[in-house]
Chain A
Amino acid sequence: ISHFSSKTRGGEDPPTHPHPLYHIYARSNLRPVASSFDLRFPLTQHNITMADEAPPAAAPAPAAAGTGAKPEKKEKKAPPKDLVIPPKKPKLSKAERRALQEAQRAAKAAGGGGKKGGGGGGAGKGGKKKVDVHKGEAGSGGAGGGSSRKAAAAAAAPAVDPSMDKSLPSFSHLQQYRDPKHFEEEFSGISLGASNSVQNFHPAVLSLGMQYASGTIRGGNARAKAMLRTFQQVIRDYEPPAPSSSSSSSSRGGGKEDDVRHDLDHRIIKPAFQYWTTKCRPHSVSMGNAFTFLKLAVASLDRDMSVEEVKEILVDTIDAYIHERIDIADEAICKHGSSKIVDGDVILTYGCSSVVEVLLTDAAQEKGADTFRVIVVDSRPLLEGRALVARLADAGIECTYILLNALSYVMMREVTKVFLGAAALMSDGSVLSRVGTACVALMARSNNIPVLVCCETYKISNRVQLESITVNELGNPDDVISARCAMNGAASTAADGKQIDSVLGNWRDMPNLKVLSLLYDLTPSEFVSGIVTEMGILPATSVAVLLREMNPQDTNTAFMGSM
């Protein structure tokens, strides 16, 4: 009987990029649902582990059959990113299922009790590649501490108090938050536990990863731009490998030209992206789309090109993408959006969106800073709006700053228009944006105030998301707990750097208490009056049309002739 364990090498996390039908599988008869499936982000082959471990004695349950959800036959070949073959669901009897649930719960409790860092830390799930039903094996640990060592140890020990379990079942499918302070060795990039090769990353990649993880770079546009600039740097410094691999080149028959593209792709670009996503911070849709574009650019290079040419073309292509899809797009959005600003408007915005900031400052310049005023709504824990208010005030605009709980007051009395930014746009017109945006849009809608969402077209995602749980990102739970508020004063840390005791400062030791910090939420398209893109202002129902127009080759419809 072969088995699988929840141990992953090097503490790496499975990435969060589930198949769009994920939530359907998640509602299967296996519970806790999220832990049963582990759809890995198939970028490189080095994160596949095949652990053979003796099953812990305590659990007589059958194995968590669903944990290895990937088509595992061809492990060595990274399947294309969009292709996910749904896993075969094993047939379990009711008793087996129940036993499985118990085992997983126990393992999770073991994992959660055994480690600090509640919802974060460590490997999220054991990713296992076999889908067979196995008996006599404790299931993978689901969320919270997934390390099989701990699971084995804990499972062998008497059952841990479930009230101390800090993991969240509904969100265990998401990549757990990894506090950079606890995982410094990750960011030094020494070893990522690769089974194939040791990754040596360009220092720019590592430093960008650190910036992502620590939150220095936030925001869809900023992250995507930083990523592309880093790739430019990496490409500029790229040296092709020594032409010693005769076997591979002869098998391809293309000689070293082919190797350049392939090498770039597999050795440089993909691993870097994989590193950022799994170790530092899950990638945003903007980063994902930019990355897809880059891969396409690399793949469409001519075979017979010298390395220098390849480098030059790629660097230019990246420049053009940033210029067209982000910078020029922002200008066009400004133009269309500011045509809707009239004298006397009171404009509300939420958080800190780069494009809304440019829109408002440009409108102030063109129409005069006293034509309108702005209310910036902000929320904890990130408090991003402070930076926006400062910059708008510098531009001469009259600003008001409120927190989210004061929203209904201003909305009913003063606001005439709402401008929001977006992290991504779904193809049915729903908007993925900073958590709290949906509240603002809902409140505006119920007061008949038009809501305009400003989003560049490169952020359009062709998936459909129905709620905010299936795809989201977990933030640092300690941020939620932080004592920084009016009661304790401005500082939450004392002079020696220790955290001032807040009411919930020791939440990890409190029973029956879990802390959740989400970063994104989904605004349904009914709340959005119009979406401002570089193509103009469109109704929310037209995002799918935009996708189609931008990618006509991807459209397979019976009505092709009418296009």
Chain B
Amino acid sequence: LARIPQLAETATRPPQTTMSSSTTTTDESPVLQDLRRHLTGSSTDSGAAIDPEHRTAVALPVAAIKSLLGVIQRSQANTMMGLQEELRGAAEEMMAFATDCPGSLQLLGGRSHIALASGCELFMKYVTRAYLELPDFAACIAQIMERGERFAGISLAARDRIADVGQAFIQDGQTVLTHGWSRVVSNLLVKAAEHRHFSIVVLEGRPDAAGAKAAKVYADAGIPTTVVLDSAMSYVMENVDLVIVGAEGVVENGGIVNKIGTYGLGIAARELGKPFYVAAESYKFARLFPLNQSDLPPLGRNAAILSFVDTASWEMTGGLVGRPPPSAKEGADGEQVDSSSIPGVVQFKSEQVKVKNPPCDYTPAKYITLLFTDLGVLTPSAVSDELIRLYQ
């Protein structure tokens, strides 16, 4: 199986049309090819995004770990130091790709690369520790490879465990508010719906309409779902009973980094006395300590372009102004529209008005009630405990 990437290297793929990529995928190192393959499930199509409804699609840290495993397999090093150097180099390559390379945006699906970093760091820490336990190089490698093969399984098992612990917090007749698309959260909610009756309110989740996609999944599972605007979150807060979100990364003080809008959700939930739960696997724990929003690691130049197209006016004026909305269930992927011909659309040049589109924000620990992890239910202050143990 590990040989396949080498074969795939020789195939040529057309570069992405919407983004100017300076490198074609043939130039990519084996590490990045591995990463791509693990994330998309195929290495032949560089345009493939992750199919969010594909339950077995692995999380970003897991894909990173698997890529690093590939590095180990290909490695010629004979000593642990040499191997660690290679791993570090591969991790840096992946990080550079995630932050700077245009092709990564599609691949990462607009998520932050914090999870990628934490996955790499975790794996390298694990390698060091394994070597301390088993000083024989060859035996150590064998053990690492064997454990690594099971990692994807661990990822899925983690999600199931989280669903188990988190289900008890949703009771019959309650309304759950959620934000963004997270496989962990959707797994939890879908599993909970097998035993209880509750309804879900989903924030629409611009700019990538992740919430709309999530709503489809929940509706298909038979849960009554409502979609509202992101800006309506405080409005609906008084009618919901609890809030559950996922996390891209869990930081050292127990706060989380998640899709933009989570911070506001946390503040509103606390203000109105609603519990705010986070569902995250333990490999998302990162050794970051953001002091405020601007202290997050820089996200590179890959923020999606925002488009300001007025669809509500189109409906209200019967097509005179604005632009027809896309069909109901299809998510708006931020495709570029030539809006200059549509009346009622606000146009401005990029020199006039700056557009900022941060993909993620940081929610401090004080807004989080509990975290559902594969280690069990944790309070935010227990995250640091785990991290100290993990990275000791």
Instruction: Report the minimal beta-carbon distance from B221 to chain A, rounded to whole angstroms.
Output: 36
B254 touching A545, Cβ below 8 Å: no
Determine the chain B residues whose CB is within 8 A of the CB of A452 once the complex forms: 291
Q: Interface residues, chain A, CB within 8 Å of chain B?
A: 340, 342, 417, 448, 450, 452, 529-530, 535-539, 541-542, 545-546, 549, 563
Instruction: Report the minimal beta-carbon distance from A416 to chain B, rounded to whole angstroms.
Output: 9
Determine the chain A residues whose CB is within 8 A of the CB of B384 once the complex forms: 538-539, 541-542, 545
Give the complex CA separation of A452 and B292 in angstroms.
Answer: 13
In the assembled complex, B365 has its CB within 8 A of some CB on chain A: yes
Closest 3 CB pairs of A and B: A541-B381, A539-B253, A450-B291
Instruction: Report the minimal beta-carbon distance from B34 to chain A, rounded to whole angstroms.
Output: 31
B388 touching A340, Cβ below 8 Å: no
In the assembled complex, B392 has its CB within 8 A of some CB on chain A: yes
A535 touching B289, Cβ below 8 Å: no
Give the complex CA separation of A546 and B291 in angstroms.
Answer: 21
A530 touching B388, Cβ below 8 Å: no
Taking each of B254, B291, B292, B389, which has the highest tally of chain A beta carbons within 10 Å of its own beta carbon?
A: B291
Determine the chain A residues whose CB is within 8 A of the CB of B365 once the complex forms: 539
Picked from A340, A530, A546, the residue with its CB within 8 Å of the CB of B253 is A530
A538 touching B252, Cβ below 8 Å: yes
Picked from A530, A535, A541, A549, the residue with its CB within 8 Å of the CB of B291 is A530
Give the complex CA separation of A535 and B289 in angstroms.
Answer: 13
Determine the chain B residues whose CB is within 8 A of the CB of A542 once the complex forms: 381, 384-385, 388
A452, closest chain B residue (CB): B291
Picked from B254, B289, B381, B385, the residue with its CB within 8 Å of the CB of A537 is B289
Q: Interface residues, chain B, CB within 8 Å of chain A?
A: 252-254, 287, 289, 291-292, 294-295, 365, 381, 384-385, 388-389, 392
B295, closest chain A residue (CB): A340
Determine the chain B residues whose CB is within 8 A of the CB of A546 once the complex forms: 388
Determine the chain B residues whose CB is within 8 A of the CB of A450 once the complex forms: 291-292
B295 touching A535, Cβ below 8 Å: no
B253 touching A545, Cβ below 8 Å: no
A530 touching B289, Cβ below 8 Å: yes
24 pairs, CB–CB < 8 Å, chain A vs chain B:
A340-B289, A340-B295, A342-B294, A342-B295, A417-B291, A450-B291, A450-B292, A529-B291, A530-B291, A536-B252, A536-B287, A536-B289, A537-B289, A538-B252, A538-B253, A539-B365, A541-B381, A542-B384, A542-B385, A545-B385, A545-B388, A546-B388, A549-B388, A563-B389
Instruction: Report the minimal beta-carbon distance from A338 to chain B, rounded to whole angstroms.
Output: 13
Determine the chain A residues whose CB is within 8 A of the CB of B294 once the complex forms: 342
Taking each of A417, A452, A537, which has the highest tally of chain B beta carbons within 10 Å of its own beta carbon?
A: A537
A339, closest chain B residue (CB): B289
Give the complex CA separation of A549 and B389 in angstroms.
Answer: 8
Instruction: Report the minimal beta-carbon distance from A343 to chain B, rounded to whole angstroms.
Output: 11
Determine the chain B residues whose CB is within 8 A of the CB of A530 once the complex forms: 253, 289, 291
Determine the chain A residues whose CB is within 8 A of the CB of B392 once the complex forms: 549
Instruction: Report the minimal beta-carbon distance from A537 to chain B, rounded to whole angstroms.
Output: 4
Instruction: Report the minimal beta-carbon distance from A172 to chain B, rounded to whole angstroms.
Output: 37
Give the complex CA separation of A409 and B384 in angstroms.
Answer: 35
Picked from B252, B254, B291, B381, the residue with its CB within 8 Å of the CB of A340 is B291
Instruction: Report the minimal beta-carbon distance from A542 to chain B, rounded to whole angstroms.
Output: 4
Determine the chain A residues whose CB is within 8 A of the CB of B385 once the complex forms: 542, 545
Determine the chain B residues whose CB is within 8 A of the CB of A536 once the complex forms: 252, 287, 289
Instruction: Report the minimal beta-carbon distance from B360 to chain A, rounded to whole angstroms.
Output: 18
Instruction: Report the minimal beta-carbon distance from B380 to chain A, rounded to whole angstroms.
Output: 8
A539 touching B381, Cβ below 8 Å: yes
Give the complex CA separation of A538 and B291 in angstroms.
Answer: 11
Determine the chain A residues whose CB is within 8 A of the CB of B252 once the complex forms: 536-539
Determine the chain A residues whose CB is within 8 A of the CB of B292 once the complex forms: 448, 450
Give the complex CA separation of A340 and B392 in angstroms.
Answer: 22
Determine the chain A residues whose CB is within 8 A of the CB of B291 once the complex forms: 340, 417, 450, 452, 529-530
Give the complex CA separation of A529 and B252 in angstroms.
Answer: 12
Determine the chain A residues whose CB is within 8 A of the CB of B287 once the complex forms: 536
A544, closest chain B residue (CB): B385
B388, closest chain A residue (CB): A545
Give the complex CA separation of A368 and B289 in angstroms.
Answer: 23
Determine the chain B residues whose CB is within 8 A of the CB of A529 once the complex forms: 291
Taking each of A448, A450, A539, A563, which has the highest tally of chain B beta carbons within 10 Å of its own beta carbon?
A: A539
